[in-house]
Amino acid sequence: MADRTEKLFRIAIALKGLDGAAQLAAALVLAVIPSSVVTGFAHAVITRDLLGDPSGTLARHLQAAADGFANGGSKTFAIVYLLAHGLIKLALVWALARKIVRAYPIAAVVLGAFVVYEVLRAVHTHSIALPVFAALDLAIIGLVLREYRELKGVGLASGRETP
């Protein structure tokens, strides 16, 4: 059971690392491309019925997000958010992969803050994706805390002090 949990933990932090790297890349891309490219892409997706009915829920959400991105200063927010979120995730993944025991509670608190923010932002923006990300972060928090308890237990059982 512990081996399976360890593998699941490793997969989860690898996915978080990939997510962090993707967020950094997205921040850099958003910093370079004009807002009109984003709104043009959203318009093309909607008018070509790629999300189903152009007046459907997904299409309306995409259009509202694209309009807010272009007109409401959301571009700067998105860049800063993606950059900060990506860097924090990569730092946490690095520390967890190296089994730096002090990083585990910090990771749980930081991921918990992300969950709170994602839920609050989803309520405000009616985002479909943010609750999914929050649920994934909650699952990863569970794995982080479980791994932390196991590492602390191994350190105490072996008589050595964990850092």
Torsion of Cα atoms, 80 then 26 then 43 then 77, to 10°: 0
Instruction: Look up residue 34 and give its DSSP letter.
Output: -
In this structure, are residues 83 and 25 in contact, taking their beta carbons and an 8 Å threshold?
no
In this structure, are residues 39 and 94 in contact, taking their beta carbons and an 8 Å threshold?
no
Lowest-pLDDT range of 55-59, 150-154, 158-162: 158-162
The pLDDT tens digits of the residues spanning 45-69 come to 777 665 566 676 777 777 777 777 6
pLDDT band at 157 (very low <50, low <70, confident <90, very high): very low
pTM value > 0.85: no
The pLDDT tens digits of the residues spanning 6-45 come to 888 889 889 889 989 999 999 999 889 887 787 777 777 7
Alpha carbon 91 to chain centroid, angstroms: 13
In this structure, are residues 111 and 143 in contact, taking their beta carbons and an 8 Å threshold?
no
Specify the higher pLDDT residue, 122 or 162: 122
11 burial (CB, 10 Å; 0-12 / 13-18 / 19+) is exposed
